[in-house]
Structure 1
């Protein structure tokens, strides 16, 4: 079944690029697009997409609020943030709001497919550029490392989460079942007081665990 995608982007060139990638792939179903925060609210209220693609550098800087609105309105959906260079602060705010993935505006069709595949598998996705920007900024502002509340195994699994690995991949890497890997992830979330992979990576970097 195709992945239903709603696109929220106020930049015409970025919107056209992403729309062309979606329209050209039989595994993706475009549900519509919005070019402003007001139009996005209407789109979110009227369409139940599997994935909401949101350009984080919206002119009105409403991407974090729209991220939370989509997730609250449609439990089970995912939000993938599309980041422009220089939008680091907004990108972090979107991840804190619960975004599940991040792509760059010039992403390829293959990267978009990889992102959607990860989201369908219940994983998160950070493209290499976004991951590098995120970690670089967090490391620059990180406080002195705190005593880790995690075990050695949990710390290893947290680093694997930061790389975007799926439960199957984490299990294979550490010689455990995907179910056991998921159990470790739940304990990590509980110890860090978070609910999503993006939040876990952010909190871990803030605490000097990555």
Structure 2
């Protein structure tokens, strides 16, 4: 692989994924995109051989990028790199044309090994994802039923949308701390912290730290 695109909006995660990818292909040229719009524009400027795609982006879904890239560059390898291991994220990505699905909580060596399997025709899948796919047809996915129930609920105010843990993270990032610092302060891994923060952004409909500060003030978490 010589031309690789990483679609990921968090800088720390970009660097982490790049390091994992370079374990497999040290000489690869890597292009970083932080938004769906910039990634789709990059498809017009060149044909990537491999794309690592986050699913939840500030301006849309990585599934839309997968679908467009599959149309424009059908030979590209499209591998999801995400924190979400549930059916609601997994199966739409695969149906859109993803060749693989990796979890960012996996060790870098494991991700590099999975990516190297591409050249041997082995789909890159995290073990947890492979098990989920095997068990999918054995029972009704609980996440699908839960999501259906949620859609019938009336809108709640912003405070009601956030769990107690998410409010803790909003308080921390609202005070200017970065993801890694929030993870250390609240005693969780970086990837767990990033997942909480992405959920907060999605629930509140925001896309920047400045907006997070405003929401934290509005909700009375900080003065």
TM-score range for the pair, normalised by the shorter chain length:
0.5 to 0.7
| TM-score when normalising by structure 2 | 0.55
SS in 1 for 2:56: coil
SS in 2 for 1:5: strand
Contact kept? 1:52, 1:70, Cα under 8 Å: no
The aligned counterpart of 1:36 is 35
Contact kept? 2:19, 2:108, Cα under 8 Å: no
Q: Please say which of residues 129-138 and 109-118 is displaced more in the overlay.
A: 129-138
**CA separation in 1, counterparts of 2:15 and 2:86?**
20
Listed as ranges, the matches of 1:88-127 within 5 Å are 88-127=87-126
Larger Rg belongs to: 2
1:141 lines up with 2:140 in the alignment: yes
Listed as ranges, the matches of 1:1-210 within 5 Å are 2-23=1-22, 26-27=25-26, 29-85=28-84, 88-136=87-135, 138-141=137-140
1:117-147 deviation line (CA, Å, top 9, x unaligned): 22222331211022234445553317xxxxx
| 1:99 Cα deviation from its structure 2 partner | 0.5
**CA separation in 2, counterparts of 1:80 and 1:138?**
23
| TM-score when normalising by structure 1 | 0.58
Q: How many residues align?
A: 141
| 1:40 Cα deviation from its structure 2 partner | 0.9
Contact kept? 1:101, 1:115, Cα under 8 Å: no
